[in-house]
Amino acid sequence: MTKETKKTTKTAATKTTATKTAAKATKKTETKPAAVKNTEKKNTTISIEEVEKLYTAAGIKVANPGVKGNYRIMGSKKGSSLNLQKTKYIIFSTDDDYAAVEAVKGKYQDLVLEKGGNSQDKSRPNRVEFTAVETLKALLAVYAKNPLNKVVAAK
């Protein structure tokens, strides 16, 4: 009987090892397609230079012109800011701007609002995210109503 018991134990151990090896091989195969998808992302947003032109057209001052990168502050250092990414726009909003955007929220399907979504920034604690250029243009008109974001008129 001891010989049969040993054979059963060896067979079970072999099956367990084979199952683990097959599971590892499956995991490696599954992760490769996901990595390919991430590299296939295409730019679906406009350039930061075009965003600056839209700021100007809406009457919004760029507080940090000429800076490298895809981040622009509206009006003064205490105004809202836009972060341009490959597939979406993110506006970090002041509380006043966030309330104004909430009022028009129903008009835009791609609009995602997150109160307190940028909690590390006390001036701009809220997050407004969207993907369409049309939504950007419409929201810039809303942001232009805030004096902190406007171009200061010469006296």
Span 89-144, pLDDT tens digits? 999 999 999 999 999 998 999 999 999 999 888 999 999 999 999 999 999 999 99
Q: In 3-state terms, what secondary structure has residue 72? A: strand
- Cβ atoms of 94 and 145 within 8 Å: the answer is no
What is the reported pTM?
A: 0.70
H helices of 64-107, where?
A: 95-103
Nearest partner of 142 among 60, 51, 46, judged by Cα: 60
How does residue 19 score in pLDDT terms, banded at 50, 70 and 90? low
Please report which confidence band the pLDDT of residue 10 belongs to, taking 50, 70 and 90 as the band edges: low
Rounded to whole angstroms, the Cα distance separating 95 from 62 reads 19
Q: Is pLDDT of 44 > 90?
A: no
Quickly tell me which residue has 């509380």 as its tokens. 95
Coil/strand/helix, residue 127:
strand
pLDDT at 37 over 50: no
CATH fold group of domain 48-143? Aspartate Aminotransferase, domain 1 (3.90.1150)
